[in-house]
Amino acid sequence: MAPITRRMTFPKVVIERDTDSEESSSDEEEEDEAVEEEEEEEEERVESKVTEETQVGSDAKRKGKAPITISLKKVCKVCKKPGHEAGFRGATYIDCPMKPCFLCKMPGHTTMTCPHRVTTEFGVIPAPRRNTHKPLEYVFERQLRPDIPPIKPKHVIPDQVSCAVIRYHSRRITCLEFHPTKNNILLSGDKRGQVGVWDFVKVHEKVVYGNIHSCITNNMRFNPTNDCMVYSASSDGTVGCTDLETGISFSPINLNPDGWQGPGSWKMLYGMDINSEKGLVLVADNFGYLHLVDIRSNDKTGNAILIHKKGSKVTGLHCNPVQPDLLLSCGNDHFARIWDMRRIEAGSSLNDLEHRRVVNSAYFSPLSGNKILTTSQDNRLRIWDSLVGNMDSPSREIVHSHDFNRHLTPFKAEWDPKDPSESLAVIGRYISENFNGAALHPIDFIDISSGQLVAEVMDPNITTITPVNKLHPRDDILASGSSRSLFIWRPKDRSEPIEEKDERKVVVCGGADKKRNRKSGDGGDDSDDEGFISKLKKSNSKSKKPDLKLSRRK
Residue 15 CB, nearest distance to DNA (Å)? 18
Partners of 281 in the β-ladder: 274, 293
Residue 221 CB, nearest distance to DNA (Å)? 21
Instruction: Tell me whether residue 56 or residue 486 sits nearer to DNA (CB atom).
Output: 486
Q: Sheet holding 443-447: strands in order across?
A: 414-415, 424-428, 443-447, 452-457
User: Nearest-CA neighbor of 309 among 284, 289, 338, 339?
Assistant: 289
Task: Report long-range pairs for 60-68 (Cβ below 8 Å, ≥24 apart).
Answer: 60/8, 60/9, 60/10, 60/11, 60/12, 61/12, 63/9, 65/9, 65/10, 65/11, 65/12, 66/11, 67/11, 67/12, 67/13, 67/14, 68/11, 68/12, 68/13, 68/14
Residue 399 CB, nearest distance to DNA (Å)? 13
User: Nearest-CA neighbor of 361 among 374, 348, 344?
Assistant: 374
Q: Which residues of 248-275 are buried (b: 16+ CB within 10 A; e: fewer)?
A: ebebbbbbeeeeeeeeeebbbbbbbbbb
Residue 112 CB, nearest distance to DNA (Å)? 8
Instruction: Tell me whether residue 152 or residue 313 sits nearer to DNA (CB atom).
Output: 313
Whether 190 and 241 have beta carbons less than 8 Å apart is answered as no
Residue 20 CB, nearest distance to DNA (Å)? 19
Residue 328 CB, nearest distance to DNA (Å)? 18
Residues 397, 398, 399, CA angle at the centre, nearest 5°?
A: 120
Going by the DSSP 8-state scheme, the letter that residue 51 receives in this structure is -
Whether 433 and 442 have beta carbons less than 8 Å apart is answered as yes
Instruction: Tell me whether residue 449 or residue 464 sits nearer to DNA (CB atom).
Output: 464
Instruction: Tell me whether residue 95 or residue 476 sits nearer to DNA (CB atom).
Output: 95
The DSSP-derived string for 250-268 is EEEEES-TT----TTT---
Instruction: Tell me whether residue 312 or residue 421 sits nearer to DNA (CB atom).
Output: 312
Task: Give Cβ neighbours of residue 461 (< 8 Å, ≥ 6 apart).
Answer: 165, 509, 510
Residue 355 CB, nearest distance to DNA (Å)? 9
Instruction: Tell me whether residue 172 or residue 492 sits nearer to DNA (CB atom).
Output: 172
- Residue 410 vs residues 160, 332, 492: alpha-carbon distances, Å: 28, 12, 29
Instruction: Tell me whether residue 189 or residue 369 sits nearer to DNA (CB atom).
Output: 189
Residue 404 CB, nearest distance to DNA (Å)? 6
Residue 331 CB, nearest distance to DNA (Å)? 9
Instruction: Tell me whether residue 49 or residue 538 sits nearer to DNA (CB atom).
Output: 49
Residue 241 CB, nearest distance to DNA (Å)? 23
Task: Give Cβ neighbours of residue 24 (< 8 Å, ≥ 6 apart).
Answer: 31, 82, 83
Question: Helix, strand or coil for residue 303?
Answer: strand
CA distance 529 to 286: 37
Residue 256 CB, nearest distance to DNA (Å)? 15
Instruction: Tell me whether residue 252 or residue 442 sits nearer to DNA (CB atom).
Output: 442
Pairing of strands 280-285, 289-294: antiparallel
CA distance 313 to 321: 24
Residue 113 CB, nearest distance to DNA (Å)? 12
Instruction: Tell me whether residue 111 or residue 495 sits nearer to DNA (CB atom).
Output: 111
**Residues contributing to the site for DNA (CB under 7 A):** 77-78, 86, 88, 93, 95-96, 99-102, 111, 170, 172, 216, 235, 313, 315, 332, 357-358, 377, 404-408, 430-432, 439, 441, 463-465, 482-484
CA distance 314 to 177: 20
Instruction: Tell me whether residue 99 or residue 545 sits nearer to DNA (CB atom).
Output: 99
Instruction: Tell me whether residue 86 or residue 454 sits nearer to DNA (CB atom).
Output: 86
CA distance 43 to 53: 9
Residue 286 CB, nearest distance to DNA (Å)? 7
Instruction: Tell me whether residue 160 or residue 480 sits nearer to DNA (CB atom).
Output: 480
CA distance 392 to 178: 34
Question: Helix, strand or coil for residue 302?
Answer: strand
